[in-house]
Structure 1
Amino acid sequence: MTGVVFVHGTGVRAASYDKSFARVRDGLERVRPDVRAVRCFWGEEHGASLGLDGASVPVRTGNRGAGDPGFDDDGDPLALWALLEAEPLAELWEFTETARGDDGDTGFAPGRMDPWETVADKVRALSLAGVGDTARPGLRRLVADLAPALDGAAERVADEISRELGGAPYTEGVGAVAARAVFALALNSAETAGDIDALLPVDGADRDTVVGALTDQLGGADRGGVVSRAARGVGGRMLNSYLSPLSSLARTFRGGITRGSVPAGGDILRYQARGAGVRAAIAAAVREAADGGSPVVLLAHSLGGIACVDLLADAAGPPPGVELLVTVGSQAPFLYELDALTSLRRGAPLPAGFPRWINVYDEHDLLGFVGGEVFPGRVTDLRVTTRQPFPRAHTSYFAHQRLYDLLGPELPR
């Protein structure tokens, strides 16, 4: 039975690896039930940590803004979701400002039910029941992750609508805006409450299905996540309002920010200086997968792809049994171009014994690179589209069902 060794990337610890491994296992099982997923979790033993409890971090305060008034989403739906990643209520705030208007006419008649209270009540009643009843495992997992946080997110959006729009003339289009706000808040809450180490992988199609179901319950339209006029207007003010204080906040809370960023950034630095342990962990997982002569596939994300390329290009030769390397959202070709790979200098070809290499990337993932032009004839680049903005595009590959459809026929039997 072919063994697929899943090698994680930077910043991953036990909780997020377990979630990602389950996604990979389920995705592979759907397209190739004859393969076996094999764990390769190196983050705990070989990942970075502040060994002196942050003794090197200075305590500083200050106040210097750094805003950027230039913002133009150009009608791109990813711009809206990138905005909601930064502030889930941003679009709703702009909507309420537009709906209130400047003429002072409330449009509300005493003795009649305020239409905004009706909207708020519908938001509070939002449910994900039945949304996860699907053959798509990524959608089922997303619904399961969001469900515990939905009520709190819906209550917050409903309160915002009641407080800011009560008594104002009713304006069409609030359904889709409210649905996106609830989704963004619930996702943010799920990640915080889950105490995981990375952004939850979310495929754009699954996101739009959930948002569409919520929009339908609110009697709205605009199911495709299209950027609204409100979102286009809020961009410049949003950046000024929220990015300006960032410098000050970053200085004030530098210790916590540094500790939070250590797994992601520190793993990269530690690998460059002490990467032998990671490569040894991968080699051990290959030996386990190859037990009995089974073919082995290395499926590696981000930094894991760099480590696999270094292992397979080492002068000692690749571990026996590896027939296919699949790098996903990896920087290995980029590091080769920088002459920064450990085992392969720029200008040197891939060794003759290097296995077949498939490199998967998403154009919206700023940490994903292509290898076909770097290693002509030795790398096959496959582009996928998770329909997520960066940085979530970098973490969402393994929630994207198309990835497994592409890989299924490529895995050795």
Structure 2
Amino acid sequence: MTRKILFVHGTGVRGASFDRTLSLIAAKVRQHLPRYEVVGCNWGDAFGARLNAHGCSIPGYSSGAAAGAVEAAAMARWTLLSEDPLLELRVTDLAAPLGPPQGPVVWQLLADAAEAPAALALLSTWGLAAPWPAFIGALVADPTWAGTIRLLGGTRAQLSAPVSRAVVAAFLGWLRRAGEPGITGAQRDELVLALQAALGGAALGVRDWFLGKLTDFALPRRTALNDRTGAALGDILRYQARGEVLRNFIGDQAARSGANVILAHSLGGIAAVDWLASGARQIEALVTVGSQAPYFYEIDALASRPFGAGLPEFFPRRWLNFYDPRDFLSYAGRELFPGIARDVVVDNGQPFPESHGAYWRNDAEVWPEIDRFLP
């Protein structure tokens, strides 16, 4: 007699995505587990989070919110520059001027900026003037900075703003590493303008290419980004608030299909563990991949079992749990549930987040282990 596996998917899965995943798993089951048949538990369409009021709680969901997108892009720029102050200069599209290149000129002006009066006046107000000359000296002695700025095209006016931002971003990192209190965003922008004046001044009509790229990315994507990530996050939040509905749905699907085994991914693994821990079931074995159930238990967020209670006697004694160290949404359960959960470490060969969804195609590790595990 053919035995049944109930597949419970993870967060953010809907419609065609579920169908494709189930089709892939069914093909793998036929290949590796011919004694089994897989049936799907599509809870995303029935239970998953959705914008019941068409997104009216999300500012700019349908309009794009131009001002907010520009502000977000500016913040994104400083986030990127905090990691790599030279990033904007490396990717600039400034063309070489008709005359001599201005990069060497701006580089020489930067060397003189250790004594820039406007910048020093601001820094003195904030009690940060003392480290400024040493910082500029170290920066000017850095061959990476010299090589980057000296090769820049564009006019002095075009270069003054991005070079000033790079220098200020590096100075903020200098302060951070020295344990100095930082400055506000408004103060940061004042310092950029003061340094910009020393490097050649601003020119009317100069296009902020880098900010434009970031804004072009963020502006039309506010709705798309929310749609892409909102379902996954919303499913987790809704499960924490209304999890009983999903657990009952899994129970109904298990009873209807006559499944002997549950195969669950991500949030589906949390819900499956909660359902199995809430009463005696006909399920003989549980297989979880990329699941957060052990983590939820450790932080005392598992609905069915408070931390320290362990699993009840009627919980299936056979639980196979896969995790990939590069999948930051996968967790280990053996030490939390000794004698019940057995962890298997796999390498899906992908960085996160691709690693979180790559288990199903791992024919070398995942499917042979499931074959050995199941009756």
Decide: shared fold, TM above 0.5: yes
- 1:331 is matched with 292
Q: Give 1:259 shift.
A: 2.6
- With a CA cutoff of 8 Å and minimum separation of 6, indicate the structure with the bigger relative contact order: 1
Deviations 1:79-98 (A, max 9, x none): xxxxxxxxxxxxxx9xxxxx
Distance 2:339 2:308 in 1: 15
Pick closer, same or farther for the CA change 1:248–1:36 going to 2, 3 Å: same
Describe the SS at the equivalent of 1:336.
helix
Distance 2:214 2:46 in 1: 33
- 1:374 is matched with 336
Q: Give 1:318 shift.
A: 3.2
Alignment of 1:5-404 (within 5 A): 5-59=6-60, 60=65, 61=67, 62-63=70-71, 64=74, 65=77, 66-68=79-81, 70=83, 246=214, 249-250=217-218, 253-290=221-258, 296-314=260-278, 317-319=279-281, 321-355=282-316, 356-402=318-364, 403-404=366-367
Deviations 1:118-169 (A, max 9, x none): xxxxxxxxxxxxxxxxxxxxxxxxxxxxxxxxxxxxxxxxxxxxxxxxxxxx
Q: Give 1:29 shift.
A: 1.2
Distance 2:210 2:367 in 1: 38
Q: How many residues align?
A: 237
Pick closer, same or farther for the CA change 1:279–1:242 going to 2, 3 Å: farther
Distance 1:373 1:245 in 2: 48
Describe the SS at the equivalent of 1:29.
helix
CA-based RMSD of the aligned residues comes to 2.3
Distance 2:246 2:264 in 1: 12
Q: Give 1:252 shift.
A: 6.5
Pick closer, same or farther for the CA change 1:67–1:383 going to 2, 3 Å: same
Distance 1:46 1:330 in 2: 19
CA contact (8 A) 1:3 1:37 kept: yes
Pick closer, same or farther for the CA change 1:246–1:383 going to 2, 3 Å: farther
Quick one: which amino acid aligns to residue 55 of structure 1? C
Q: Give 1:377 shift.
A: 2.1
CA contact (8 A) 1:361 1:383 kept: yes
Quick one: which amino acid aligns to residue 308 of structure 1? A
Quick one: which amino acid aligns to residue 334 of structure 1? Y
CA contact (8 A) 1:28 1:408 kept: no
Describe the SS at the equivalent of 1:275.
helix
For normalisation by structure 2, the TM-score amounts to 0.59
Distance 1:244 1:371 in 2: 46
Quick one: which amino acid aligns to residue 24 of structure 2? R
Structure label with greater radius of gyration? 2
Pick closer, same or farther for the CA change 1:246–1:308 going to 2, 3 Å: farther
Distance 1:54 1:331 in 2: 28
Deviations 1:189-229 (A, max 9, x none): xxxxxxxxxxxxxxxxxxxxxxxxxxxxxxxxxxxxxxxxx
- Structure 2 gaps of 5+ residues are 85-90, 92-208
Pick closer, same or farther for the CA change 1:305–1:254 going to 2, 3 Å: same
- 1:190 is matched with none
Q: Give 1:285 shift.
A: 1.9
How many percent of aligned residue pairs carry the same amino acid?
41
Distance 1:369 1:52 in 2: 35
CA contact (8 A) 1:289 1:296 kept: no
Distance 1:308 1:318 in 2: 13
Describe the SS at the equivalent of 2:26.
helix
Q: Give 1:244 shift.
A: 10
Q: Give 1:23 shift.
A: 1.2
Pick closer, same or farther for the CA change 1:50–1:318 going to 2, 3 Å: same
Q: Give 1:260 shift.
A: 2.6
- 1:130 is matched with none
CA contact (8 A) 1:50 1:259 kept: no
- Structure 1 gaps of 5+ residues are 72-92, 94-240
Distance 1:242 1:42 in 2: 42
Describe the SS at the equivalent of 1:381.
strand
Pick closer, same or farther for the CA change 1:312–1:68 going to 2, 3 Å: farther
Describe the SS at the equivalent of 1:267.
helix
- 1:85 is matched with none
Distance 1:7 1:299 in 2: 6
Describe the SS at the equivalent of 2:80.
coil
CA contact (8 A) 1:365 1:394 kept: yes
Describe the SS at the equivalent of 1:299.
strand
